[in-house]
Amino acid sequence: MPEFTAFFHSFAGLAIILIGFSNFFSGEVPSDPFGLGVRRLECYLDILIGTVIFSGSLIEYGYSAIFEVANYFPSYMTNKVTAASSVQTVIVFIIGAGVVELAEIGAA
């Protein structure tokens, strides 16, 4: 039964991701640079937190459903990868380099 709870929590993370994307693509752009940076940071944090919740819930589902997953995919590794990638991408995103540069970082 705990695996179903973790699976349903992943939908909350997915909803947060979709809210972050809808805020970003809503078309409402502040005129001042500070407001633009705050809005970009808000959208970035929405998507980052939603992604952490979504992936963490699915990993917890795997831990609960199949105990051997814990030996093959340790959870601390996902935390390190998320922390390392989020610092680099938030700097590029807030500076305003755009989606093309974020895609290049993701492809590297």
pTM (two decimals): 0.62
Residue 27 token pair:
């078309």
Share of residues in the chain with pLDDT > 70 (%): 72
| DSSP code, position 98 | -
Provide the domain count of the chain.
1
Q: What pLDDT is recorded for position 3? A: 76
Q: What is the mean pLDDT of residues 70-88?
A: 67
Distance CA(39)–CA(103), nearest Å, equals: 20
Please, what is the average pLDDT of the chain? 77
pLDDT digits (tens, 9 = 90+) for 21-30: 888 888 787 8
Instruction: Give the number of other Cβ atoms within 10 Å of residue 96's Cβ.
Output: 11
Q: What is the span of the domain harbouring residue 28?
A: 2-107
Distance CA(46)–CA(16), nearest Å, equals: 6
pLDDT band at 107 (very low <50, low <70, confident <90, very high): low
